[in-house]
Structure formats: C-alpha cells, structure tokens
Homo-oligomer: A and B are copies of this chain.
Amino acid sequence: MITNQRYEKIMDCLNERGTASVNDLVDITNSSTATVRRDLTHLESKGLLKRVHGGATVEQMEREEDYTEKSVKNLSKKLKIAQIASELIEDGDTVFIDAGTTTYEMMPFIKASEVTVVTNSITLIDQLVRNGHQTIVLGGRVKPATKAVVGHDVIEKLRTLSFDKCFIGVNAIDLHHGFTTPDEDEAYIKKTAVEHSRRAFVLADSSKFERSAFVKFAQLEEASIITEDPDHPFLVKARSGTEITGGESNDIYRDV
C-alpha cells in the first residue's frame, strides 16, 4: 500500500470514529506499528489529527482544549481571525457559515442585524439562535465526529441558494493545490458554497500555509484569506505570484 492511501485510510477511520488506537490502524493499513506511528506524526504535523497516548483523535469541536501555552496562543489567533471575519457581515446579509472550530468562534462577534445564516453545522445553531439570527440548517446525514451535516441533499440545496458572503474553514493552503481539506464530503460542500457566494472568505491561521490536504475545494483566487498575520511570507509570495494576479476583487484579505 502506498503512503497516501494509508494516510487516507487513517483519516477516514478517524473522521468516522473520532478516535482510533495504533493497533486499530495497524490492522486497517496492514502496516507495522512503526509505520503507523510515522504516519501519525506526519499527519499531526499537518494539523489533521492529534496524537494521544495509544492512538490519535480528530478535534471534536467540543472544548477539550488543554490550556497549555500553545493552545491559548492558537485560540487567540482563532479569535482574532473570527472577529475579523464577523465584522465583514453587514446588516441584511445572507451568509453561509461552514462547520469548523474557527467559524464557531465567529458567533459572539456577529453584530450585524437582520442577518440570515445558512449552515451545515449543528454545533453553530445553538449560538446562532441564541443571538437572534435567522438560522437555516441544511438537511442530511449528521457526521458524528464533527456534527456537520453532509451528503447529497446538502449540495442539492446549496445549489438553489445564493449568498452575499460565505465563511469557510480550511485545513491547508498552498500555491499549487489551493485550498484543501481532508474530508471529501465536506470539501464538496465548501466548494459549492464558494461557487454560490458573491464573495468567499477562507478562515486560516498561518499554521495552515504551505501545506496541503487531500481534497481541493477552491483555487487561491476564488476566495479571500482571513488570517492573523497578513504579512506572512507565504501571503507575500502568493500576492506576487502569477497564481493570483487574475483576482482583482478577491485579493488576499490583509487587514488585522
């Protein structure tokens, strides 16, 4: 079995079950523990999973944050990004908000009124409703690990809608592969949402730059990047590179 196939099997397993032991993954991939461990190390470095003693997990949306130095730092990045994103929502907007931990952090910052929010994230709904926003949930199968709604119905419905703006989470961004994410179902939802929005925003802290995950959902020039460090070398490169020279209205978003 080729390395990437193993990566996919591992991520599939984790996305489905949320947690898996090294031994589980050894069985699934028909590899040695050494190989699985190497895979886990690699996938963790890409931010696709979190290693734990005995195996690995995917972030469960819930707050299991351990309040170490690092996670607090990441949290504040997330908050900053979430806040910038939220302020882009204007009175009367109809927006799509993707399932994800960063988009979740947007909730308290949305100040605009008469906003209609469409989402496939069950987790967001509580907050949206509580804050008095008109909320529309897309229907379909609920994915246990992330409580995101996925499936054909979601795409079908998205195609009938059009948004002023959409806010999308992402796992990895690089010049070659554009915006990528590990889960195929979710990638297709992101893609469709971007296509049906006047303006698309991708929320990404700088740890996502110059990496790629399995499934591409948009070209770099199809969406604006919202990040905590607008002068990051990668963005400088991206702005000057041929890849994005075509995008006039959708420049890399740079405010902080």
Contacts and interface: CB of A to CB of B under 8 A. Distances in A.
A142 B157 contact: no
A128 B125 CA distance: 16
Contacts of A88: none
Contacts of A126: 122, 147
A2 to B, nearest CB: 3
Instruction: Please classify the interface of chain A as helix (H, G, I), strand (E, B), loop, or mixed, using the class held by over half of its residues.
Output: mixed
B19 A55 contact: no
Count of chain copies:
2
Given A19-B2, A55-B4, A136 B140 contact: yes
B142 A139 contact: no
Interface stretch (A46-54, A104-112, A198-206): A46-54
B139 A52 contact: no
Interface residues of A, number: 38
Contact of A141 (B21, B134, B149): B134
Contacts of A157: 139, 153
Contacts of A8: 18-19
A54 B141 contact: no
Interface in A174-200: none
Contact of A140 (B64, B137, B141): B137
21 contacts: A2-B19, A2-B21, A2-B55, A4-B52, A4-B54, A5-B19, A8-B19, A46-B66, A122-B125, A122-B126, A122-B137, A125-B142, A125-B147, A128-B142, A134-B141, A135-B144, A136-B140, A137-B137, A139-B140, A139-B149, A139-B154
